[in-house]
Structure 1
Amino acid sequence: MTDQRTLAASSIVLEDPPLDFEPLPRAARQLVVFDFDWSLADQDTDRWVHEVLSPRLRIEFCRLKPQMQFTDMCAHLLAELHKEGHSRADLEGALRRMPVHPGMVRGVRELQRKHPGTEFFLLSNSNEVYIGTILPSVGLTEPPLFTEIVTNPAHWDGELLRLSRRIAPDAAEQHTCKVGCSANMCKGDELDAFRKRHESYDRIIYVGDGGNDYCPILRLGPNDVAFVRRNRGLAKRIADEGGVQCTVRYWTGAWEAEQLLGLLA
């Protein structure tokens, strides 16, 4: 039997990985929580716009990342992109070309259709404009998919996209997460807050990939499930740090995630 946890954290990307599609029990009422970058989408929004529009700023991204708070850095690079002369139309065009795999779109829509007791919640360190541009371009707003979208605020100021932290640096209350969440948002706190705003669920499913998804995964219980993308930060943290109570299933490509979502119907 292949050790999925070890494979997911430390292997090369396999074209045909060992599949992880064992059945899951049915739940009458369930919440599916999606991260966005490299989870619902097949790229990272903050990096993608510079890869498409300004390779110079993509290189600057790598240089600045160890030195600045991530959301502040992304805001700074958007200002630099504006100075280079890139317009709102340029940025929106790049976002609409960002890959969201048809299998992932098909998977969430089929689950929504087959299981009326399923709700979807999008929890992302991207921003409102990026997500609000991409989702309608792939058919995930009509009919609505997500009950709520929690992410960083952003708005257009003429041709400049202004981005800010979800928790402002001067806010009276800062999160107190000790797991490693960035200063702008604790995803574990956001998941707990969403649960308080809504009715109880028989099961929560979290679809994620990054190290910042580890905190909300730790908040899940034995009846819950995490769909974890292999070869990325979340899989590594689970392997290295443990402490996860929920069932963990691994996937590499959206074609696998589609099968896992099908187990929930």
Structure 2
Amino acid sequence: MAASGGGNGVVVVFDFDKTIIDCDSDNWVVDALGATARFDDLLRRLPWNSAIDAMMGELHAEGRTVEEVAASLRAAPLSPRVAAAVETARALGCELRVLSDANAFFVGAVLDHHGLAGCFSAVDTNPAAVDADGRLRILPYHGLPGHGCPLATCPPNMCKGKVMERIIDELSCGCGGAPAARRRRVVYVGDGRGDYCPSLKLTEMDYVMPRKGYPVWDLIAGGDRAAVRADVREWADFEDLEAVLLGIVAECLTSEHDDADDDGGEAAPPAECRALPATLASVQEAILPKAVHVPN
């Protein structure tokens, strides 16, 4: 994992399923190992997190190995545009994190395979470990007595909003735990129902990037728009994700540069902005002045 702290003042927090990869990792593994019908049956009786743990137990009992699970994950679809966005944002000085309701084994297998694990300073997700018998165990992020969040969009095993509150608290602290003069901006990228709660924890200085046509977009667009204080920038596909994310980063860097410039004259763009790929320059020029319209 990459070191946290410092950087350019921007922290990008990614969901994993249908955001970094273009599938649900649990369903991908279950389908790849031929257990779709059994998993569907488990879901009729158990919460999702408990069902995927039980599914791993059944697969282990019939002789399937964790290496087979990992091999299936290495084939999960991850767009080169996502990899480019991650690597470029990291190169520009952003701190990158994952906040996911998948699990540590699945997330790690994918990021390691694509050489992206070192770009992220932290991964907050459901714990997972291989026990002494070689069986993959998947546990809830928030164990008993639960997370206590009243939002129906948060599953019982994980409230991403609670995690986002902790992240923001961490970013609000300076050296030695004293309050920072100015906390770093957060950009949150997600798609699902569980991504709504953390979006509500962001402030006017932050950004949320909901995937258009997916549950979090519907919740933001169709709900109380005033409840989401962050600047909303939609994305539909992975080309959008790259362009919108790097556009936000460029906007933040330019804003920080302007705030720090006391000369009153026209200053050169910050070096980080000049380092952005040339193919994105025209995209940024087109999108930076605009906030994405979300229906009231």
Instruction: Name the aligned partner's letter for residue 84 of structure 2.
Output: R
Distance change >3 Å, CA 33–CA 240, structure 1 → 2: same
Work out whether residues 142 and 159 of structure 2, in 8 Å CA contact, stay in contact via their aligned partners in 1.
no
Matching residue within 103, 116, 119 for 1:145? 119
Matching residue within 247, 250, 261 for 2:231? 247
Secondary structure of 1:251's counterpart equals: coil
- The aligned counterpart of 2:220 is 238
Matching residue within 78, 86, 97 for 1:121? 97
**Cα drift, residue 193 of structure 1:** 0.9
Deviations 1:65-122 (A, max 9, x none): 3542211111111112222321122111101111111100101111211x22x21111
- The aligned counterpart of 1:82 is 60
TM-score (norm 2): 0.73
Instruction: Give the number of equivalent residue pairs.
Output: 230
Q: Distance in 2 between matches of 1:89 and 1:28?
A: 38
Q: Distance in 2 between matches of 1:37 and 1:80?
A: 23
Q: Distance in 2 between matches of 1:218 and 1:148?
A: 21
* Identity score, percent: 31
Q: Distance in 2 between matches of 1:220 and 1:66?
A: 34
Q: Distance in 1 between matches of 2:223 and 2:15?
A: 20
User: Given the alignment of the two structures, is residue 164 of structure 1 paired with residue 148 of structure 2, yes or no?
Assistant: no
- The aligned counterpart of 1:182 is 155
Work out whether residues 153 and 165 of structure 1, in 8 Å CA contact, stay in contact via their aligned partners in 2.
yes
Q: Which has the higher contact order (CA 8 A, sep 6+)?
A: 1
Distance change >3 Å, CA 59–CA 238, structure 1 → 2: farther
Q: Distance in 1 between matches of 2:221 and 2:245?
A: 23
Matching residue within 62, 73, 76 for 1:98? 76
Q: Distance in 1 between matches of 2:185 and 2:170?
A: 16
Secondary structure of 1:179's counterpart equals: coil
Secondary structure of 2:123's counterpart equals: strand
Specify every segment of 5 or more residues in structure 1 that has no aligned partner in the other structure, as ranges: 1-26
**Cα drift, residue 148 of structure 1:** 1.1
**Cα drift, residue 28 of structure 1:** 4.9
Instruction: Name the aligned partner's letter for residue 120 of structure 1.
Output: L
Q: Distance in 2 between matches of 1:87 and 1:216?
A: 35
**Cα drift, residue 51 of structure 1:** 1.1
Q: Distance in 2 between matches of 1:152 and 1:202?
A: 26
Deviations 1:19-38 (A, max 9, x none): xxxxxxxx951111111111
Q: Give the RMSD, CA atoms, in angstroms.
A: 1.8
Secondary structure of 2:39's counterpart equals: helix
Higher strand share: 1
Q: Distance in 2 between matches of 1:61 and 1:81?
A: 11
Secondary structure of 2:158's counterpart equals: coil
Distance change >3 Å, CA 247–CA 197, structure 1 → 2: closer
Work out whether residues 211 and 234 of structure 1, in 8 Å CA contact, stay in contact via their aligned partners in 2.
yes
Secondary structure of 1:61's counterpart equals: helix
TM-score (norm 1): 0.81
Work out whether residues 66 and 134 of structure 2, in 8 Å CA contact, stay in contact via their aligned partners in 1.
yes
